[in-house]
Each structure stands twice: as C-alpha cells, then as structure tokens.
A and B are shown apart, each in its own frame.
Chain A
C-alpha cells in the first residue's frame, strides 16, 4: 500500500512538469494572440528609415535575423510547393543543362492568361519521370507516394489559400522583397483586391525604401490596374533613380528585370497620361541603356511616325 503511494508520489513531478508546460505554452499563446491578427488584414508593419537604423543596432535583431530570414525563405518555398500542389521543382544541374536531359517544366496557356509567369528552361521536377529515371520500381514507388505529375504544361492551385503565407513571410522578415512583389501579384488576381495589393506593396516600400522591385511593382499596379497615372510616376522615377545608382554587375536578376520594367511602365504611363514628350524622353533613356528593349523601341518608332 505504502509502496503504491510512494510510486504515485514519484509520478507527481512528471505530472506537474506536463501541467506546467501546458500552462506555459497556453499562456504564451494567450498573451501573444491579442497582439496579432490572422490573414492579410494585419496592421501595417512599415518602418521608417530611422527605425530601420535603430533596429539594425539592436543585438537581438542580429541574433534573430538569421532565423527570420530562414523562416521567410522556408515559407516562400512552401508557397511554391503549394501552388504546384506539392510537386517539388529544382534547378537543373550543369550536366542536365548541357545534355538537355531533364524533364521539362512549363505553365499551361490557361494559367499564363491568368497572370502566372512562364517557368524558365532551368527547372525540372525533383522526382524524375519514368523515362528519365534509372531506379526501376523504386522510382515508380516514389512517383506514387510523393506528389508527382507531368509538369510540362501544368496548372496551379488557387493562390488565394497561399495569401496568409505571404503575410507570415513578410511579417517574419519585412525585408523579404519577393514576398511583397509576388504576394501583391497573388492578391491582385482577385480584381476587387487591387487596393489591398497596393497597400501590401506600400507596406513593403515603407520597410524597404531602397527596393526598386517594389517601387516598380507599385508603378505597374497604379498604372496598369488603377490607371492612376500621376500617382505611379514618383514610384517609377524613384525605381529608375535607384537603378542608376546601382552597379549593374551587382544587381540580382529580379532587380535588373525591375529596373528595365520601370522604364517600360514609365513610357506606357506617360503615353496614356497624354505626355508624349515625357514618354519619348523615358523611351530614349531606356533604349540608351537597353538597346534591344522591344517596348521602348516600339514606342519610339510609333511616335516618330508623322
């Protein structure tokens, strides 16, 4: 009898530990919950330049910075996987690029019409097709147990369900530029949410005042979607000004593309706003920098006609 009692008393510390852990985690949740809201309608987290500078001087920001970046990257990859229904893609190896050995990845025409970008020729599926797999039955098994499909002309899942992940990734790392630009594009697929997309980009712009990709996207949305030409011009001019200050060799692929797009949108914007002189000036500057740019060359050719 007494040994049973002692045994029960011996169990007490473990039970107390379990209870304490439960209470602690629930309490943390309870305290944090009122400070956050779910989904896209979270409050602005934009930081001023001064706040940015102050933040960079805080030791804890440095300590947790890597974690925040990794979290944002992780969520970005999750979005990619989500859009492809769990099918994982990867970059081609140098060997695959050389011998054109890998399975092709391409977006279906229907999805391109809906605004999805075509994949480059440098991607393939992580799980290979039967034709390019040497593993026999183990390869068949992997194609059966892992999400796999022919991706040569694939469609995407409705990105609506992925929107909260963009909110989480930019919340986790407010300097994660692709989170803002791709997130805004996904939000704006619902035509009634273009204002939300612009608000999201403006939050990104406040957090990243030197990000020319976000400024270009803002110019693109205000010009192409809202037709608010005058509001778009400052963003496009700022994007061009930032691009000019940068060494082209150090620009990322996204930055270089955004820089060129800023010229294109500025030309189209000024043309639509009935400012041909400004449009021509922008197009000439664009062609001087990008001699083969189709949009700017086309405008110059059109505007030269009597």
Chain B
C-alpha cells in the first residue's frame, strides 16, 4: 500500500512536470491557434448560412476534432522520452529513486493529460460553434468524448512505445499511419479475408486482432446522424479493450527502455 502511494506520488509528479514543461514550451499554443482557425472557419461557413447543411457541418466539425486531437497527441507523445535522452535531462531524473518504467508511465500520464486538454479545447470550440448556429449534438456526444479519450490513451501509449525503437520522424509517421489509417486497414481486411487462402486469412486476421482497431472509438457518424447513445456493454468492452492495449504498449515500451543504453 505504501509502495503504491509512493508510486502514485512519483507518477503524478512526473506527469505534472511534463505538463509544466509543455506549458513552458507553449505547446498548447498550437491547440489555441488551431482552435482559432476552427472558429474562423465556422464563422466563414456560418456567414454563408447553415440551414440545410446541419448534418454535414456536424460531421465535419467532429472529424476535425478527431483529426487535430490525434495529431497533437502523436506529436506530444513522440518526443517525451527521446528529448529527455537527447537533452540529457534523463540522468538527473533517473538518479532519483525511480525506475525507467516509472519514468515512462509518468511521462505517459503527462502526455495523455496534454492530449486530453487539447481534445477538450477542440471539442469545446467545435460544440460551441455548432451550438452558436443552433445545432445540438445530443447525449451521445459525451460518449463520443469518452471514447476519444480512450482512443488517445491507446495512441499515446503506442506512440511512446514506438518512440523507444524508432527515430522521432519515423515514430510520428508510423503512429499517424496506424491511427488515421485504422478505418481503412479495418475495411481492407474485412474485404480481403473472405476470398483469401487459409494461410492468408490467418495472416490478415492476426494483423486485425494484434493492431488496435482505433476506428471502434469513433462515434462521429452516430453523433452526426443523430443516433441513440451506444449500449453500456459496448462502452465497457471498449474501455477494457483500450486498457489492454495501453498496458501492452507500455509494457513493451518499458521492456525496451530498460534495455536501452542511455
């Protein structure tokens, strides 16, 4: 119990330091500038008149929220550990009584907090702009936000794990491909499996189950088209699914980080 308490203090301190560092570097200014652009775009579209294209606007607004929050999350997560190493600030950190796994998890929490703040900024701007034009998103919007937070949890963990085996550029590219291309990959596998040979089917199905299916965390279409909220069992299962992938990626990252020469 005492160990858990001590670990929690360590994780929170590291996450807090990550947040402060990001504030100092004015990372969230990027979110601010993108939010201002969103408002400007909404003002431009609104001046043309939104009557009749409500559904289209909702779809576009939610897609923009998804896209921007994911790009920010990948950019935040990709540089956490590599920068600590390249700036040599990792040494004083590891000189304290914390393990490399603790450092990774603390940094993960900080990067996730930053990503969620970015998501909430975009969501507030998007929902606010839609509300200004009298468009409501319904109760399912809260489920949309919760699933986006879970998706960001997976994306940040995956990106941090990748950043420990790749260069920052490659990490960002691969993480964005896996994240934004998730729906395309899922669709392609669904199409290819039925007509494939048994060996090919094993490969395709294996890839489908091993990679996180992030498109399952996207309620954009249901929110846009005014569907009813998603069933509780689905939200629960997706939470477990996300946590499993977070644990897997962080465990793989910690294993790699432990063996990495600094």
Interface residues of A (CB under 8 A from B): 11, 14, 17-18, 21-22, 24-26, 28-30, 32-33, 36-39, 75, 78, 81-82, 85-86, 93-96, 101, 126, 128, 134-135, 137-138, 140-142, 144-147, 161, 163-165, 168
Contacts and interface: CB of A to CB of B under 8 A. Distances in A.
A147 B56 contact: no
B36 A95 contact: no
B20 interface: no
A25 B44 contact: yes
Contacts of B37: 21, 25
Interface string B24-40: 00100100110011011
Interface in B194-244: 194-195, 205, 208-209, 213, 215-219, 221-222, 224-225, 227, 230-231, 234, 237-238, 241
B67 interface: no
A161 B52 contact: yes
Contact of A36 (B33, B48, B54, B193): B48
Contact of B48 (A11, A21, A38, A95): A38
Contacts of B237: 137, 141
Given A18-B32, A25-B41, A29-B46, A144 B230 contact: yes
Contacts, number: 123
B190 interface: yes
B233 to A, nearest CB: 8
A29 B230 contact: no
Given A21-B36, A144-B234, A86 B52 contact: no
A25 to B, nearest CB: 3
Contact of B44 (A28, A38, A134): A28
Given A38-B52, A168-B53, A18 B36 contact: yes
A24 B40 contact: yes
Given A26-B44, A29-B46, 12 more contacts: A18-B36, A21-B33, A26-B40, A29-B44, A32-B47, A38-B50, A86-B224, A138-B208, A141-B234, A141-B237, A142-B216, A165-B53
Contacts of A29: 40, 43-48
A164 B225 CA distance: 16
- Give the most central of A11, A30, A146, A165: most B CB within 10 Å: A146
A96 B49 CA distance: 44
Chain B, interface residues (CB within 8 Å), range: 35 or more
B141 to A, nearest CB: 14
Given A18-B36, A145-B230, A78 B43 contact: no
B32 A39 contact: no
A39 B213 contact: no
A271 B33 CA distance: 66
A209 B49 CA distance: 31
A21 B54 CA distance: 25
Nearest to B33: A18
Contact of A135 (B44, B47, B208, B230): B208
A126 B227 CA distance: 18
B234 A126 contact: no
Contacts of B219: 145
A129 to B, nearest CB: 12
Contacts of A26: 40, 43-44
Nearest to A39: B52
A146 B238 CA distance: 13
B147 interface: yes
Contacts of A81: 221
Contact of B218 (A22, A24, A145, A163): A145
Contacts of B49: 37-39
B213 A86 contact: no
B221 A134 contact: no
Nearest to A157: B225
Given A93-B191, A135-B208, A145 B222 contact: yes
B187 interface: yes
Contacts of B6: none
A173 to B, nearest CB: 16
A25 B45 CA distance: 10
21 contacts: A14-B29, A14-B32, A22-B36, A22-B39, A29-B46, A29-B48, A33-B48, A86-B221, A93-B195, A96-B195, A126-B190, A135-B190, A140-B234, A141-B234, A141-B237, A141-B241, A144-B231, A145-B147, A145-B216, A145-B217, A168-B53
B48 A17 contact: no
Nearest to B49: A38
B216 A21 contact: no
- Give the most central of B59, B215, B227: most A CB within 10 Å: B227
B234 A145 contact: yes
Contacts of B190: 126, 128, 135
Interface string B134-156: 00000000000001000000000
B48 A147 contact: no
A81 to B, nearest CB: 8
Nearest to B224: A86
Interface in B104-123: none
Contacts of A14: 26, 29, 32-33
A113 B138 CA distance: 33
A128 B190 CA distance: 9
B163 to A, nearest CB: 27
